[in-house]
Structures are given as structure tokens and as C-alpha cells.
Amino acid sequence: MPKLGMQPIRRAALVKATIAEIGEAGSLDVTVSKIAKRAGVSSALAHHYFGGKQDLLVAAMRHILSVYGAAVRRALAGAKTPRARIDGIVAASFAPGQFEPAVIAAWLNFYVQAQSAPGARRLLAVYQARLRSNLVHALRPLAGDRAPEIAETLAAMIDGLYIRHALGAAPDGQGATARVAACLDGLLGEGA
Amino acid sequence: MPKLGMQPIRRAALVKATIAEIGEAGSLDVTVSKIAKRAGVSSALAHHYFGGKQDLLVAAMRHILSVYGAAVRRALAGAKTPRARIDGIVAASFAPGQFEPAVIAAWLNFYVQAQSAPGARRLLAVYQARLRSNLVHALRPLAGDRAPEIAETLAAMIDGLYIRHALGAAPDGQGATARVAACLDGLLGEGA
DNA sequence: ACTTTGATTGACTCGTCAATCAACAAAAAC
DNA sequence: GTTTTTGTTGATTGACGAGTCAATCAAAGT
């Protein structure tokens, strides 16, 4: 079987298996052996393609974030009006895919990691900055100078609603979108 | 040295040490030995007073939540107007004590635990329900029928802003209180 | 004095897991 | 046809950590 060009295939499989394992465990307390077994290889191979357990976990987190980033970009591409841009960002953040157990587990553990792991903190900062930038850009025509602070408020609402829906009874984002919209209307309604 | 009535003292010391250790590690990946050493006792004693590591961690989480609950209750006691009640809840949620590294670590890991540990999930549900109840009660005179949904929105904002401040550059809650107030004004401003 | 009882520990067991290594298989290169 | 490169694993190691236990110590009760 050992054909050429296995590297990217194995890496992808291992990352996928890592995410699945994290989702099943709910935490980063996963073993390399279990991951490797799920990917259909030996644990030694996981160490071969990734330096060690840490690198595997980082790669998994990075993959999750890149998927989310791509969804946001896709949502923004098809939006013409400022309001549609905001709605797109919100919709992407509350898309069904974001509420898969593995994705929820990844995000929550990412927050935990961001406390102490400089790499994770930096990555989180990048994604938060990008989100804020997108929101400010969309809000500028609607709110003028108040765009930055409203963006911060919306970003916090997105995070807060996500966690509440992720850990609450409703396993999807139903209602969250409407709640953000109502809040935005309220904030835009009152003049400077 | 072995006097009588050491049980509560040791338990308290062990809980305190556990929280400190969690704060230092940033995660629940702490060893009983380290905790016991920090509390000035042997690891065997930790197993003696608590059944095992799990119980120790649960006790620590429970303590953190009870401290927060007490702070909220204290804030509500000295508030007379509905608006003062809301401000009190918000102020308690963003009090300096809530942003100590150990407390932040506890909350973030509590979210992680709530995914899969039924006990943690139940505890979280209780505290969220209590927060929502307090908010609805305070909002009723101000918003009438819309109190429940506005409460949900405020609760999400509190959670979201907390996480952003906990993991962001600002290690305190400065600005968060004002942002909640502005959002609330917006939501109350527009009629049904 | 003697016994019971709570407090306390050091030493030990047992399991787990990350990481390493030597070796083997298959394809490619020469 | 040999050598090199790439893919792959089983077995092993070394460390670490949770939980147990028998034994010790000091006070309180009788």
C-alpha cells in the first residue's frame, strides 16, 4: 500500500481524527493513540508527521478556525448592502456547522488555551480583530463614529449567544440571529 | 499537632489551593500532589478528605460559583430601583474579583466541563436561571412583556463581554458596564 | 493507664501515556 | 539489481500521577 504522497493525506486524516476525538472527549484530554487509531494508523506515525501531541492539537485548532474564517468570507462575498454584511457575519457565526459538538468543544477549549498558550492567544486576537474589522466596516455607513463601539457590543453578543446556545437546551442558533438584529436596531435607533 | 476539628480547615485549605493551582495551570490539568503541597499537607490527606480528584475539582468550582452568587445577592440587597438592580447585577459580574486569573480559569474550564459532565451542566443551568430570573424581575417594570427576551439579551452580553475582557488586553471590566447600559437603553428605547 | 478515634503521612502499586527506536515494506532512482 | 527514499509499525521505555494501605502520632474519653 505505501504509495507516494501520503503526507498530506495522513496529516488531514490525523487532524480530522483529532477534532473528532476532542469532540467526543469534550476536552483536550485526548491520547495520541486514540487519535491515531481513529485515523487508521499507528501512534508512531502521528509522532512522525507531527512533532508531538502539542503540534497535533494546534493543527486541529487552526483547522477549525480556518473553516470558520472561510464561512465568514463566503458570507461577506455575497452581501451588497451594509446591513446584509452584518447579517452575513451573524449568520455565519450561528450556522449549524458551528454547533456540532466537536466544533463547540474546540472553541471552548480554545478559550481555555488562550489564557496561557501564547500561540492560541495570538490566534484568537487575530480572529477577533478580523471580526471587529468586518463589523466596523459594515457599520460605518450606518453608525458613523459610533461604529467601533457598536461593533464591540455586537461581537460580545455573538460570543455570548454562541456560548449560551452551545451549552443550553437549544443545540442550534435559532433565535440568536433575531436577538442580535433587535439589539442592533436598538443601538442604531438612538442618535449620538 | 493533630487537634480535633481539622476537617473544615483542611477542606477549605485544599479548595483554596485547588483554585490557586487551577489559576496557575489555566486548566484542570492539575495534580493532587501539587494541590496538597500548596495546602501544606500530603496528597494522601487530600484523598482522605475528598473522595478523589474529581470531588476536589467539583468542590473548587462550587466554591467559585457560590462566591459569585453571594456577590450578586449583596449587590441586589442594596438596590432600590429596578434600574439599580440591573446595574447591581452587571457590576457584580464585572467586579475586579471576577477577573483574577484563577477565577477566569475556573469559569472557562467550567464551560468546558459543562459540555459533558452532567453535574457541571446542572450547576451552570442553575446559575444561568438565577441570573435570568433576577434580570427579568428587575426588567418587568421597565419593559413589561418584553422583559424575558431583553433579559436573555443582557445575559448573553454579560457572558460575551466577560470572556472578551478576560481574554483581551484589558484585564478588568472597565467599559463593559457602560456598554451593557447603552445596549439596554437602546432596547428599552424602542416600543413594542 | 488504657483505649478509642481523628489526623496524618511515606511508601507502594498500578495504570496510562508520550515519545523513541529499530526494523520492515514498497516504490523510485540510478 | 542495488541503493535510496518514503511510509509504516510493534515493541519498548521512561516518566508521571491517582489512589491505597499500613503505620504513626496526639489528643480525648474512661
Query: pLDDT tens across A36-72, in order?
Result: 999 999 999 999 999 999 999 999 999 999 999 999 9
Note which residues in 25-54 of chain B have CB less than 8 A from chain A: 25-29
Q: Which of A21, A27, A31, A107 to mutate to test the interface with B (most CBs of B within 10 A)?
A: A27
Give me the mean pLDDT over the A122-144 stretch.
94
Query: pLDDT tens across A178-190, in order?
Result: 999 999 999 987 6
Query: pLDDT tens across B94-108, in order?
Result: 999 999 999 999 999
Terminal-residue alpha carbon distance, chain B: 68
Positions of strand D less than 7 angstroms from a protein CB: 6-11, 16-22, 25-28
* Spatial contact of A72 and A78, defined as CB atoms under 8 Å apart: no
The predicted pLDDT at position A190 comes to 62
- Measure in Å the smallest separation between the Cα of A31 and chain B Cα atoms: 14
Would you call B111 an interface residue with chain A, using a CB distance cutoff of 8 Å?
A: yes
Q: Do B167 and A115 lie within an 8 Å CB cutoff?
A: yes
Structural domains for chain B: 6-189 (1.10.357.10)
The predicted pLDDT at position A1 comes to 44
Would you call A156 an interface residue with chain B, using a CB distance cutoff of 8 Å?
A: yes
C-alpha cell at B104: 477566569
Give me the mean pLDDT over the A161-166 stretch.
96
Query: pLDDT tens across A9-24, in order?
Result: 999 999 999 999 999 9
* Spatial contact of A46 and A14, defined as CB atoms under 8 Å apart: yes
Which residues have CB under 8 Å from A31's CB, separation 6+?
Answer: none
Would you call B152 an interface residue with chain A, using a CB distance cutoff of 8 Å?
A: yes
In chain A, the percentage of residues whose pLDDT exceeds 70 is 96
Confidence band, pLDDT 50/70/90 cuts, at residue A3: low
Half-sphere exposure of B90 (CA within 13 A, CB side): 28
For cell 459532565, the residue is: B117
Residue in chain B nearest A167 by alpha carbon:
B115
A155 pLDDT exceeds 90? yes
Residues of A (14-73) placing their beta carbon closer than 7 angstroms to any atom of strand C are 30-33, 43-44, 47, 52-54
B12/B18 Cα distance (integer angstroms):
10
Task: Using the CA of B5, give the nucleotide whose C1' is nearest.
Answer: C6
ipTM value: 0.92
Would you call B100 an interface residue with chain A, using a CB distance cutoff of 8 Å?
A: no
Among residues B106, B167, B116, the alpha carbon closest in space to that of A22 is found at B116
The predicted pLDDT at position A20 comes to 98
A170 pLDDT exceeds 90? no
Give me the mean pLDDT over the A130-153 stretch.
95
A6 pLDDT exceeds 90? no
B9/B27 Cα distance (integer angstroms):
25
- Directed axis angle between helix A118-143 and helix A101-116, to 10°? 110
Query: pLDDT tens across A100-132, in order?
Result: 999 999 999 999 999 999 989 999 999 999 999
Q: Which residues of chain B have pLDDT under 70?
A: 1-3, 190-192
